[in-house]
């Protein structure tokens, strides 16, 4: 079995799976259950100033469901901890004592003045926590009060608060970023410049889930009124992966360790984040949807995967980062064509109709009067739409053309790489 | 035991009332909302879907399933009923395993098609429960069409004609509309008076006058209708039953299955019907299975279904054959009756074993066996009693004793169309009758608008 022991910023945990700062880490009861189930660490639900904030006593969550009521996306309007600070600190101290091998990180959200940070952080660190995570990410509620995403959207504020935190803390400081920005790079750079030891991302995305079809109000509401929440769950993973990869592949930010967050539900999602540059991962929604037991598959699945691939966890981290680039560097001489495996084809015709209606008219529906779906190479641009919609995995695959002419363009297949930067149609092309 | 000593054991109330009620409850309970949503999610939304092609009425099946997924049940029902106004009954009685569900692409790799029949019922049940109007009539054309027969073909034809703006009179032999839906289908397939609720829904479109108890050849003639109406549609089904062609076929205890099923369907309490302890059913179609299973469910101790050919040749679908067996019916293939034995009541039937010869003809294998019987049901098919057509027989064409029509339902008489079981080339399915009624109505409309 692969060794999943992780040292993230020197913080040790038996596996790279931490529970993210969120309702599952609100109090000792939950965290004890999580650690009993096998979670590697927990980022305690965000602490704030005393007196503590209050939460609504109505719907805090809502979900985007599939027809079989699988939760695909999830929305919340819960704020940070609504318990007295001392209660949290007492419980954190006890947890760290009871579970010395697990990572325990304190998430904090404080107003933008240095004295407050200087006052609270040592008090929290005294519980024995392994590090801090600065919540510059929550997009709802607290952002109206100038905290959370309101900080995370202004790189100068990120840097300023990170500097205050680094000054007040002796344990590592992770900056949690909001995805509600145009580019994730300036916030990541600001964290780095402020002295952050790592970034974690993504926090949730501004969202309204839907309308109530009877009342024609937004859904859900608190006494008839609603507010935007933060969106998370499986549906946000691709957004998170892009942001993680951007930080990992960009010169200015590549040096900062990343804790990956966003829709991780099974071990494959964790592989995505790790391979794209995260050194560990945090999970919330999947636990809130299925309970803590999902850790079994996360650990077991990652273990088996690493064994199969003969990789260590460290070797997996960042493995896919070199494959991420800008569009302009993609090889325009590379040609693929879709190929339909007729033995696997179930004759649903989905590939045909989507290609016919919305793409390149490159798949037949009949051949010699018989229902038959076959790629027309002279029309196929290799777009992968048919592969994406085919209900049978492996039935349609993309085949790389290595010789002869592309039947679509009539041009010879060139082994040379050529990208947009040198393409004759590019008015800004590079010339020798 | 000699036949003379045999006293027929035929009596009602073999089972207690609750057991009969359970036995005649819904064969397939309807899907719940969550079951329907999960099942609907299994539909791949195929292009030019094979299920739609396989449906005799051409229902856009992926289309209606998509509307189930989005909770647009009224839209879903409309998608179904605009092609098949009896989509509710067909959802219950269609042999889906040889129609839409056989064509489902999910059979290719997992052998479990989407449950199209149950989804169709899920979408349409609320419409018939609440009698929600989904159709309206085109402006009146002042044309009048006579429809003979109030079964699936006649009602389907009448409904389509009414929506197209014509006035229709339906001449129905029975006391209630619905034809075989009302009188000829096993009770557990259409519980809660569904056939009547469906007929009521069809008639509620307006412009259809239903005349019950009026029989062609007795109360009126085809010639008369042709003089008084702009067009005539014949959907009279098959009025008579086939005979075994054996001596003593009129012995008490030998009955037509179709008559008993009709009686059963009209009974308030099926338990009141007398049932034999030993029942023999002769035949291999849906009616044979219906009578065999229902006899069993009324408490018959032994039910033997005897069919002269093999399981592949049976008119009853594989699903129906399995239903018979799981209900405790003993199915005998490759045997046909040769002698009906009994003094003043049937007591035994002697069968000979059969097989195909080299040229595929059914022949005797000269082996014999005898089964005891209190009741024998004949379910060996129905025939058209052409005599009811009167003087106009001369102008009509017949093939295998059924009326010949073209693909638009036209007969050889310019103003007469026909459909359903009485026409040649059909498969005796409700869904086919509905389609033929619909197609004829469209053609009648085209003709009447030209005139």
Overall pTM surpassing 0.95 (yes/no): no
Tens-place pLDDT, residues B376-415: 999 999 999 999 999 989 899 999 999 999 999 999 999 9
How far is the CA of A187 from the CAs of A177, A275, A417, B182, B185, in angstroms?
A: 7, 22, 35, 74, 72
* Residue B175: predicted pLDDT: 97
Nearest neighbour of A68 by CB, restricted to B38, B49, B108: B38
pLDDT at B145 over 60: yes
In DSSP terms, B291 is beta-bridged to: none
pLDDT at B269 over 60: yes
Nearest CA-CA distance, residue B86 and chain A, Å: 27
* Residue B2: predicted pLDDT: 47
pLDDT at B3 over 80: no
Name the CATH superfamily, with its identifier, for domain B33-130: Alpha-helical ferredoxin (1.10.1060.10)
Q: Where are the domains of chain B?
A: 33-130, 144-239+384-450, 241-378
Q: Hey, are the CB atoms on A348 and B46 less than 8 Å from each other?
A: yes
In DSSP terms, B168 is beta-bridged to: B145, B208
Dihedral angle computed from the Cα positions of residues B223, B224, B227 and B228, in that order, rounded to the nearest 10 degrees: -150
Interface with chain A: mutation pick from B36, B44, B45, B47, highest number of A CBs within 10 Å = B47
User: Taking residues B62-74, what's their average pLDDT?
Assistant: 96
Q: B10-11 and A173-176: which strand pairing?
A: unpaired
B37 touches chain A (CB under 8 A): yes
* Residue B189: predicted pLDDT: 93
Burial of residue A379 (number of CB atoms within 10 Å: 0-12, 13-18, 19+)? middle
Report how far residue B199's alpha carbon sits from residue B177's, in angstroms, rounded to the nearest whole number: 6
Percent of chain B at pLDDT > 90 equals 94
Question: Tokens for A261?
Answer: 């967050």
Q: What is the SS3 assignment for A334-377?
A: CEEEEEECCCCCCCCCHHHHHHHHHCCCCECCEECCEECCCECC
A128 touches chain B (CB under 8 A): no
Q: Hey, are the CB atoms on B47 and A67 less than 8 Å from each other?
A: no
Beta-carbon-side half-sphere exposure of residue B154 (alpha carbons within 13 Å): 31
Q: Hey, are the CB atoms on B108 and A68 less than 8 Å from each other?
A: no
- Domain B144-239+384-450 in CATH 3.50.50.60: yes
| Residues in chain A within 8 Å Cβ distance of B48 | 349, 365, 371
- Report, as ranges of residue numbers, the positions in chain A whose pLDDT lies below 50: none
* Residue B346: predicted pLDDT: 96
| Residues in chain B within 8 Å Cβ distance of A346 | 44, 105-106, 108-109
Tens-place pLDDT, residues A209-247: 999 999 999 999 999 999 999 999 999 999 999 999 999
Mention every residue, 6+ apart, whose C-beta is less than 8 A from residue A273. A240, A241, A244, A260, A262, A264, A281
**CB of A226 within 8 A of CB of A218?**
yes
- Cα torsion angle, A268, A274, A280, A286, sign: negative
Tens-place pLDDT, residues B87-116: 999 999 999 999 999 999 999 988 899 999
Question: Fold match between B144-239+384-450 and B241-378?
Answer: yes
- Cβ–Cβ contacts within 10 Å for residue B358, how many? 6
Q: Hey, are the CB atoms on B38 and A67 less than 8 Å from each other?
A: yes
Interface with chain B: mutation pick from A65, A72, A340, A348, highest number of B CBs within 10 Å = A348
Widest CA span of chain A, in angstroms?
80
| Residues in chain B within 8 Å Cβ distance of A347 | 46, 50, 105, 108
**CB of B265 within 8 A of CB of B187?**
yes
* Residue B5: predicted pLDDT: 56
| A284 part of the active site | no
Q: B398-399 and B402-403: which strand pairing?
A: antiparallel
3-state secondary structure of A295: helix
Percent of chain A at pLDDT > 90 equals 98
* Residue A432: predicted pLDDT: 67
Nearest CA-CA distance, residue B61 and chain A, Å: 13
Confidence tier at B335 by pLDDT (50, 70, 90):
very high
CATH architecture of A6-323: Alpha-Beta Barrel (3.20)
Assigned CATH for B241-378: 3.50.50.60
* Residue B7: predicted pLDDT: 82
User: Taking residues B130-147, what's their average pLDDT?
Assistant: 97
* Residue B424: predicted pLDDT: 93
In 3D space, the residue among A275, A230, A272 whose CA is nearest the CA of residue A138 turns out to be: A230
pLDDT at B239 over 90: no
In DSSP terms, A44 is beta-bridged to: A106
User: Quick one: DSSP state of residue B206?
Assistant: S
User: Taking residues B107-134, what's their average pLDDT?
Assistant: 96
Question: Tokens for B327?
Answer: 């209900």
Per CATH, which fold does A329-422 belong to? Alpha-Beta Plaits (3.30.70)
CATH 3.20.20.70 domain range(s) in chain A: 6-323
**CB of B406 within 8 A of CB of B443?**
no
Report how far residue A225's alpha carbon sits from residue A220's, in angstroms, rounded to the nearest whole number: 8
- Which ipTM was obtained for this model? 0.85
């Amino acid at each position: 079995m692969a060794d999943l022991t992780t040292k993230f910023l020197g913080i040790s945990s038996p596996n790279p799976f931490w529970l993210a700062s969120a309702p599952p880490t609100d109090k000792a009861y939950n965290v004890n259950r999580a650690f009993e189930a096998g979670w590697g660490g927990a980022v305690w639900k965000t602490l704030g100033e005393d007196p503590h904030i209050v939460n609504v006593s109505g719907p805090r969550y809502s979900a985007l469901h599939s027809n079989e009521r699988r939760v695909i996306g999830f929305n919340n309007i819960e704020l940070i901890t609504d318990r007295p600070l001392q209660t949290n600190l007492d419980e954190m101290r006890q947890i760290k004592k009871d579970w010395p091998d697990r990572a325990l990180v304190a998430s904090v959200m404080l107003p933008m003045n240095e004295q407050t940070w200087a006052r609270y952080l040592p008090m929290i660190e005294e519980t024995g926590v392994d590090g801090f995570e600065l919540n510059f990410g929550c997009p709802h509620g607290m952002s109206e009060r100038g905290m959370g995403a309101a900080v995370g959207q202004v790189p100068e504020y990120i840097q300023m608060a990170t500097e205050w935190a680094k000054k007040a803390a002796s344990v590592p400081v992770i900056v949690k970023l909001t995805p509600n920005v145009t580019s994730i790079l300036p916030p990541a750079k600001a964290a780095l410049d402020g002295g952050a030891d790592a970034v974690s991302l993504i926090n949730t995305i501004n969202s309204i889930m839907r309308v109530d079809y009877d009342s024609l109000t937004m859904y859900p509401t608190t006494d008839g009124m609603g507010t935007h929440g933060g969106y998370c769950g499986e549906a946000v993973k691709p957004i998170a992966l892009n942001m993680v990869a951007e930080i990992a592949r960009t010169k200015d930010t590549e040096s900062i360790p990343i804790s990956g967050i966003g829709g991780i539900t099974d071990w494959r999602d964790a592989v995505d984040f790790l391979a794209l540059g995260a050194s560990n991962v945090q999970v919330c929604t999947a636990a809130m949807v299925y309970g803590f037991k999902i850790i079994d598959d996360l650990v077991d699945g990652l273990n088996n995967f690493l064994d199969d691939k003969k990789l260590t966890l460290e070797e997996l981290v960042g493995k896919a980062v070199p494959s991420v680039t800008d569009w302009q560097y993609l090889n325009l001489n590379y040609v693929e064509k879709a190929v339909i495996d007729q033995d696997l084809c179930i004759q649903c015709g989905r590939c045909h109709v989507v290609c016919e209606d919305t793409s390149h008219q490159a798949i037949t529906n009949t051949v010699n009067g018989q229902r038959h779906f076959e790629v027309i190479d002279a029309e196929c641009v290799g777009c992968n739409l048919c592969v994406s919609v085919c209900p049978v995995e492996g039935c349609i695959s993309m085949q790389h053309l290595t010789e002869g002419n592309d039947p679509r363009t009539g041009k010879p297949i060139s082994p040379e790489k050529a990208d947009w930067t040198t393409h004759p149609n590019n008015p800004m092309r590079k010339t020798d | 035991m000699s036949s003379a000593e045999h006293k027929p054991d035929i009596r009602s109330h073999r089972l207690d009332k609750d057991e009969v009620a359970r036995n005649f409850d819904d064969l397939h309970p309807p899907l719940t909302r969550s079951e329907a949503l999960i099942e609907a999610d299994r539909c791949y939304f195929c292009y030019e879907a094979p299920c739609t092609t396989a449906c005799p009425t051409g229902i856009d099946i992926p289309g209606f399933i998509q509307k189930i997924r989005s909770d647009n049940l009224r839209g879903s029902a409309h998608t179904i009923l605009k092609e098949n106004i009896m989509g509710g009954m067909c959802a219950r009685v269609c042999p889906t395993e040889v129609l839409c569900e056989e064509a489902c692409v999910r059979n290719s790799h997992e052998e479990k098609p989407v449950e199209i029949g149950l989804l169709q019922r899920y979408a349409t049940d609320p419409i018939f429960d609440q009698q929600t109007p989904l159709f309206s009539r085109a402006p009146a054309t002042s044309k009048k069409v006579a429809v003979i027969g109030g079964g699936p073909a006649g009602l389907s034809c009448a409904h389509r004609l009414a929506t197209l703006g014509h006035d229709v009179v339906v001449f129905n032999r029975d006391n209630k509309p619905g034809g075989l839906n009302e009188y000829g289908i096993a009770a557990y397939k259409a519980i809660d008076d569904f056939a009547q609720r469906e007929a009521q829904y069809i008639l509620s479109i307006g412009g259809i006058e239903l005349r019950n108890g009026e029989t062609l050849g007795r109360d009126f003639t085809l010639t008369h209708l042709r003089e008084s109406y702009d067009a005539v549609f014949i959907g009279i089904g098959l009025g008579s039953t086939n005979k075994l062609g054996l001596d003593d076929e009129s012995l008490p205890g030998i009955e037509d299955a179709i008559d008993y099923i009709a009686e059963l369907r009209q009974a308030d309490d099926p338990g009141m019907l007398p049932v034999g302890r030993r029942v023999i059913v002769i035949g291999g179609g849906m009616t044979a299975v219906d009578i065999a299973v229902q006899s069993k469910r009324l408490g018959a101790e032994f039910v033997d279904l005897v069919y002269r050919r093999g399981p592949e040749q049976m008119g009853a679908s594989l699903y129906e054959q399995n239903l018979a067996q799981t209900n405790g019916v003993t199915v005998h293939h490759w045997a046909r009756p040769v002698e009906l034995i009994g003094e003043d009541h049937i007591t035994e039937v002697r069968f000979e074993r059969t097989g195909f010869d080299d040229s595929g003809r059914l022949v005797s294998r000269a082996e014999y066996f005898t089964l005891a019987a209190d009741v024998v049901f004949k379910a060996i098919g129905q025939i058209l009693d052409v005599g009811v057509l009167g003087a106009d027989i001369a102008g009509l064409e017949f093939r295998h004793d059924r009326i010949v029509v073209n693909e638009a339902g036209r007969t050889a008489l310019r103003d007469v169309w026909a459909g359903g079981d009485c026409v040649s080339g059909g498969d005796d399915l409700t869904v086919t009758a509905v389609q033929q009624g619909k197609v004829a109505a469209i053609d009648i409309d085209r003709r009447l608008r030209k005139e």
